[in-house]
Amino acid sequence: MSMVEVNQVRKLYKRDAQQITVLDGLDLQVPEGEFLALMGPSGSGKTTLLNLIAGIDRPTSGTVRVAGTELSQLSENALARWRSRSVGFIFQFYNLIPVLTALENVELPLLLERLGGRERRERALTALKIVGLADRASHYPRQLSGGQEQRVAIARAFVSDPKVLVADEPTGDLDARSAEEILALMETLNREFKKTIVMVTHDPRAAARAHVQRHLDKGVLTADA
Amino acid sequence: MRFLPLVLKHLRRSWVRSLSTILAMALCIFLFCTLQTFLTAVNRSLKSANAARLVTRHAVSLVFNLPLAYRDRIAAVPGVKQIAMQNWFGGARRAGDFSEFFPNLAVEAEPFLEMYPELILTPEEKQAFLGDPRGCVLGPDTAARFGWKLGDTFQLESFIPPYRVGRPFEFVIRGIYTTDEAHYPGTDRTLMFFHHKYLYETTGRRVGVGTYVTEVSDPSQAGAVSKAIDALFANSDNETHTETEQAFRASFVSMAGNLALLLNTIGLAVTFTILLVTANTMSMAIRERRTEMGVLKTLGFSSARVMGLVLTEAGALGVLGGLLGLLLSQVLIGALPHVPMIGPFVRGLAGFGLTPLLALSGLGVALFIALAAGLVPAVLAYRARITNLLRQV
């Protein structure tokens, strides 16, 4: 069963008078429990595809079905609710809220659920334990290293137990050692917590940790690795 | 409430900017509440004037007295029910020292008390006052201020040349009037009045009458009676100007120009300026956090919720600034009656104080300004697409 089904998706952008085709009739299926790496040169449409899968952008035509939900059918509010429950997003630059502690950052998605404060904190702390940062719960992002920040961001992405994790160059801003730790963590989430992961990366070593690699070029999936 | 800590943490993030905005807002509400309190008290004082009472003064200026002989001629005008002479004495406990000033009048006692039912005396006090040529009646606030009680004596010396006789006037307190706020709201509680005859005799029977206060039988005829009184003395050496008591009091206030217009214009200008300052602050705060807005939306915060967070942040600035402004206003309003020069005037404004309704209005204005200032950034945050917000990285 496919966790992600992308069918005949086109995505056009208008820039001034010009119309730019970013994705052109793209098809992609990602089975449940898969760890997929999307590779390709800059401007190939990797991030656009990732945004469509994460429900933060809409295709010009075609359908995107994730975890059994056809995203193009959803209203803005319903799509926001779906994102909070079904998908976790990992950014290249972590994007933690600087005024919140690590624990509070991880707690953020849980604010949208009907949970008491205590339960929220317990669940956030559990997520931090999984990424090995329980002892840094009260630290602010500025007090953490890049690798630690990304681990907090990963904890934030999976704390609400989504089925799918999407990661946009999660190791792109990290040194080799930290990148290795992040990739190991993502492997753990995929293997032990059965998360389906779609990861965009430029780094062949990172892509090698995925089960499947797909290449995008000029909006078209060109080859399987 | 779940999101309030998030909002407050954002306010603390740029605390200098937040504090500046709160102070600006506080200044605005402080001015609004203080000016409105002042205007309300002035209006209240004007409204306390009785529609059936007319005041006749010298047409040229209040400085000039009218002849005593006018009394009976005015009393004979059809529609005039009764008349009382009244002179502003301008006395102070120490000559020229107005730090302990309170309004004091020489009045024709019997008709005056009948025409001013809002100044309530017991029959015993009234009797004692009418029977003592040096007797006087005090307002309860003035009595309390100096710790005076019935039977006490005190001296006043006027700054008005005709009333300066080389020694102070001595008075015996024969009555301390009470007021009835339910029936006569805004009654002055600081007045002191004594017998006009005492002034007349002590000054060697040289003084005239500052104003004649007349009560008309039918308030709807006040205009016609005023005209009739003034017509009586037209083309004489001492022409008169008669007007309602309310118009007479308003003319004092209008000596400072159109006070209400002036104060309201100041208030409006400050409010508009603060609106722009707050709008600028909110825009900057939101612009700095575009990526964070994108992250929140990515995490599943709906556009409406993000907009709500921005408005809550603006509202929090408004409420904090409003509360601080109210506090400052309350402090100043409490202190004003004790300020030299202004104090006596303020004490004469019955019910001068920050009312709960005005305080609520002040908070409402603060909230309105803050929300209006936060509206544009909030709508922009609402409408912005996640991909555009995240592209700002």
Contact between B6 and A100 using a beta-carbon 8 Å cutoff? yes
Mutate to test the interface with A, among B298, B305, B382, B386 (most CBs of A within 10 A): B298
Least CB-CB distance to B9: which of A51, A84, A100? A100
How far from chain centre, in Å, is Cα A32?
Answer: 15
Q: In what order do the strands lie in the sheet with A87-90?
A: A87-90, A164-168, A196-200, A35-39, A212-217, A220-224
Cβ atoms A120, A111 nearer than 8 A: yes
Determine the distance in angstroms separating the CA of B317 from the nearest CA of chain A, rounded to an integer.
18
Question: Any CB–CB contact under 8 A between A46 and chain B?
Answer: no
Q: Which CATH superfamily does the domain covering A32-59+75-224 fall into?
A: P-loop containing nucleotide triphosphate hydrolases (3.40.50.300)
Each residue's pLDDT expressed in tens, for chain B with a length of 393 residues: 778 888 888 888 888 888 998 998 999 899 889 988 888 887 777 766 677 899 999 999 888 999 999 999 999 999 999 999 999 998 988 877 777 788 899 999 999 999 999 999 999 999 999 999 999 999 999 999 899 999 999 999 998 888 888 889 999 999 999 998 788 877 888 899 999 999 999 998 888 999 999 999 988 888 899 999 999 999 999 999 999 887 887 776 665 556 777 778 888 888 888 888 888 887 887 888 889 999 999 999 999 999 999 999 999 999 999 999 999 999 999 888 877 767 767 777 767 889 999 999 999 999 998 998 889 889 988 998 998 888 754
First to last CA, chain B: 30
Number of other CB atoms surrounding residue B160 within 10 Å: 14
User: Does A42 reach chain B within 8 Å, measured CB to CB?
Assistant: no
Q: Is B290 part of the contact surface with chain A (CB cutoff 8 Å)? A: no
Tell me if chain B has a CB within 8 Å of the CB of A13. no
Domain edges within chain A: 32-59+75-224
Q: What is the pLDDT of residue A73?
A: 87
CB contact under 8 A, B292 and A95: yes
Chain A interface includes B301 (CB < 8 A): yes
Q: Do B299 and A77 touch (CB under 8 A)?
A: no
Q: What is the ipTM of this complex?
A: 0.93
Residues B158 and B194: their CA atoms lie apart, in Å, by 13
